[in-house]
Structure 1
């Protein structure tokens, strides 16, 4: 007779965004190894784990340090708002100081005595009633042994004692490379029930911080790498690469794009809860269409959010005013919000985190992002793909109507950057392009794709005047030709 699998209970990690990746938190009363290169955030995660227990769950914690002095650890984490010294005075935080004595006159001979360390950890846990233990780091501990086999037995002894004490523990370990061996010595991962990898990889002169659950006994977890960032006052924040298994809702409702002629080309408007990609060369009018989209929704009673990564807030408002759109009035009424941020001002994961925060605060009905190409400048190809997937699934999960712009190298607008998945995650694709006729350069627009709906297949000319964008009739391509690619 088969039985239903039983998941191991979970303990909140205290790291925002990490618990969805681990399936609800760190496994209860088990040991989790956190491995990473220097500067990847291992000690931060360990401290944050204990801090969350104290602040959110009234659970005392024990921090075993083999590397830094307790005073240094307390001082380093004051900037995050964690008063370790006060917690220590109150009995909520207990240090077990096993850091090396670096006094010149100290001479160490013979094998490291582990029995006294195990007794100190046991005493600290029992005296404080600790439910959480952090050990930082195994590498520094192993360095105090002259024999790798002795060090291995020592780590297994510590792991066994932690299990006997019934605590949930985090233990950090060094690894030589971001994508090499799991740990420096090659046996630390076998001591733990669970293994979490932190990376701070350098690619194309850009850093990319990610977390990956390599092993999690007794429970399911999300696979692959997930971006994370470190924020002042908040610590480590994970931005999961959301995979919704296409469980988000769809709709047959039509919503205005802000340009009535474009609504007719799309079969009566844009489908609600869909994601629209607008592709075209620089200067063709993508930002204008994004402004029409956000402001048009606000004028129809929807809350519109416009994120710009190419122009300042004042430039956007000035340009919109030239097209007859009053951003200031719409923002003052609470119907619209405009956010402008330089791509280089933050990492890609910080941008995604900020965007989600603004979405949560403002609660828009529709969102326009102008442009994805600007963000591509500050990211590796892999990071950008992760950002794009996380962004698109989050928009759909929130049941919003979304519009994203992307710059094409070709005046035809047909370079859809498919290698970055822009076109595949989009429900509709609108292409804007430059065309020429006997010495005159014009602009054209066509709808290339609308999932679940018929649409106008014609390429139409459009004009821009002081009232915005106006789409005219079908182009006679016998008189017009597409401009050549810009190198």
Structure 2
């Protein structure tokens, strides 16, 4: 503890303190860099506001924006800090703006740089703050005009601040043509912000801690967003950090034939992948486990990428699964996601929040195709899915993923192969028999126990899912056009009424 305060200055930015292992070490100088629009000023204001709530003296030294502009920026996030933060708007002395009074024997930059530094130190000595933001170093770099003079100036500022109790945050908008890394070697830590513009959709922002002396931190890139209220950071998920003890019971789907196909059911704390062409019923199989979980008195979370919720509610209700009522009763959390507006880190955080706060024991992600749209890099997608599944498994949650394959019958192609990540893989197929298009289901992988190696026909009716006996009399069902090899055709009977709903 330092003067009754923690040794770390919390940033006030949701998720950032987790990345920084508690915040910024007090009495040190840090650099926050990023191109214009990445959120530097917003993070800096949140950093000072956090200090103000702790009754610390806070100083914002602005070399580029006026006090009015800063207050307007804060108000856009619903933040009104009043007199809790001292804003020192640094402007050149009037003599330097008057051409008649400019010195001719000395370079004007010498005077401007010296005057600027002097004004910064005077403002600091007057207030003696515990948190300081200097915005921005680009102005000082322009005044210095050379790398050597710039480095000397930064070192002078660092030595000056090191004799105080202040935690200092230097902002750099990286607008100089010569991106000098001088400050990186001088400061105690460096946070780098990026803004990416995908071919379609909103901008994506992410940050990385480049350096933090004498302190462990969460490495790699972390997605973040700027919304009303400020910046929210989504720390990169590391499943190995999360472990919960739970009973690995066998959970049933509520359909006896389907449970037989699964060797009795699904083990708690495992992941299941439902894969097949569009329209085969992948979502319905996953929601069958949601309905079974609710019936057991458990909660579930459903994340929909591809289907409009109103349509989903109406079609599942017609099959006996009233998702809307389950939601209204507080038994499930269900939300429709826009892949064009959502970063992978934000999605992972939403899932984690539902498991941690809503206590969801069953999680459905429908579909991985939509999830992939939020991050075109397939390798990164597999890593994200791997960490998310490992986290959910360690929390004792059952996860159901759906993947739509390209094609309808015959050779199928998957946009991304995640079959090796899932504990159980359920394959759905169309096949032709007796002049009709029918559906078949089989379990091709189950890590947690035995399962039937057969293929069963299934139908979707007003009563929901109906599974038949194993199709032992057919060969080539998975190819789409089977041949009869048994003595009789073991297919589900189709009535005219049922046919109209299939």
Q: TM-score, normalised by structure 1?
A: 0.85
User: What is the Cα deviation at residue 356 of structure 1?
Assistant: 4.5
Contact map agreement 2:299 2:360 (CA 8 A) in 1? yes
| DSSP-derived class of the 1:310 partner | coil
Alpha-carbon distance change, 384 to 413 in structure 1, aligned in 2, over 3 angstroms: farther
Q: Any residues of structure 2 matched to 1:43-442 within 5 Å, and which?
A: 43-55=41-53, 57-84=54-81, 86-87=82-83, 92-99=84-91, 106-107=98-99, 109-114=108-113, 116-175=115-174, 184-205=179-200, 207-233=203-229, 235-245=230-240, 248-249=243-244, 251-344=247-340, 346-381=342-377, 384-385=381-382, 387-389=384-386, 391-396=388-393, 398-411=395-408, 415-418=413-416, 422-437=418-433, 439-442=435-438
Residue of structure 1 in register with 2:9 after alignment: 11
Q: Following the alignment from structure 1 to structure 2, what is the Cα–Cα distance between the partners of residues 243 and 120? A: 46
Question: Match for residue 18 of structure 2?
Answer: 20
Q: Distance in 2 between matches of 1:162 and 1:451?
A: 59
Deviations 1:408-445 (A, max 9, x none): 214469645556xx334422222222223354322122
Mapped contact 2:363–2:398 kept (Cα < 8 A): yes
CA 1:212–1:297: 2 relative to 1, 3 Å:
same
> Is the Cα–Cα contact under 8 Å of residues 461 and 473 in structure 1 kept in the other structure?
yes
Listed one character per residue, the Cα deviations across residues 139-180 of structure 1 (whole Å, up to 9, x for unaligned) are: 122112233311121111112212211221211223369xxx
CA deviations 1:359-393 (Å, max 9, x no partner) are 55533221212122123234332664565356435
Say if 2:92 and 2:112, in contact at 8 Å, map to a contact too.
Answer: no
CA 1:213–1:386 in structure 2 vs 1: closer, same or farther (change >3 Å)? farther
Q: Which deviates the most, 247-256 or 384-393?
A: 384-393
Task: Confirm or deny: 8 A CA contact 1:437 1:480 kept in the other structure.
Answer: no
Give deviations 1:326-361, integer Å, cap 9, x for gaps.
Answer: 223333433233323443455555544444455555
The verdict on how the C-alpha distance between 1:398 and 1:191 changes in structure 2, with shifts beyond 3 A counting, is same
Could you tell me which runs of 5 or more consecutive residues in structure 2 were left unpaired when the two chains were aligned.
Answer: 1-5, 103-107, 482-502
| Rounded Cα–Cα distance in structure 2 between residues aligned with 1:197 and 1:124 | 27
Contact 1:34 1:42 in 2 (8 A): yes
Match in the other structure for 1:446: 442
State the alpha-carbon separation in 2 of the partners of residues 33 and 154 from structure 1: 15
Q: Distance in 2 between matches of 1:335 and 1:390?
A: 26
The whole-number CA distance in structure 1 between the counterparts of 2:448 and 2:198 is 39
- Kindly report the root-mean-square deviation, in angstroms, between the aligned alpha carbons of the 2 structures: 3.1
Q: CA deviation at 1:284?
A: 0.8
What is the distance in 2 between the residues matched to 1:123 and 1:388? Answer: 53
- Compared with structure 1, are the counterparts of its residues 367 and 74 closer, same or farther at alpha carbon in structure 2 (3 Å cutoff)? same
Aligned to 2:27: 29
The 1-side partners of 2:335 and 2:343 are apart by 17
How has the CA–CA distance of structure 1 residues 413 and 290 changed in structure 2, closer, same or farther, with 3 Å as cutoff? farther
2:474 matched to 1:482? Answer: no
Number of equivalences = 464
Structure 1 residue 464, shift from structure 2 partner: 1.2
Q: Deviations over 1:276-332 (max 9, x none)?
A: 222221111012112212122101211122222222222122111211122233334
Change (3 A) 1:431 1:400: same
In the alignment, the residues of structure 2 paired with residue 21 and residue 258 of structure 1 have an alpha-carbon distance, to the nearest angstrom, of 43
Measure, in 2, the Cα distance between the counterparts of 1:257 and 1:60. Answer: 59
1:115-139, CA deviations, whole angstroms, 9 ceiling, x for partnerless residues? 5544544444454452211121111
Shift of 1:215: 0.9
Query: Which secondary structure state, in structure 2, belongs to the residue aligned with residue 111 of structure 1?
Result: helix
- Is the Cα contact below 8 Å between 2:113 and 2:143 reproduced in 1? no
Do the aligned partners of residues 210 and 185 (structure 1) sit closer, same or farther apart at CA in structure 2, a change above 3 Å counting?
same
Classify the secondary structure of the residue corresponding to 2:406: coil
Quick check: 1:204–1:380 contact (8 Å CA) kept in 2?
no
**Partner SS, residue 298 of structure 1:** helix
Deviation at 1:225, TM superposition (A): 0.8
Q: How big is each residue's C-alpha offset from its partner over 1:27-79, in whole Å with a ceiling of 9 and x where there is no partner? A: 22222211222211222222221112213x22221112221112211111112
How far residue 239 of structure 1 moved from its aligned partner, in angstroms, is 1.0
Contact 2:34 / 2:174 at 8 angstroms: preserved in 1?
A: yes
Change (3 A) 1:457 1:190: same
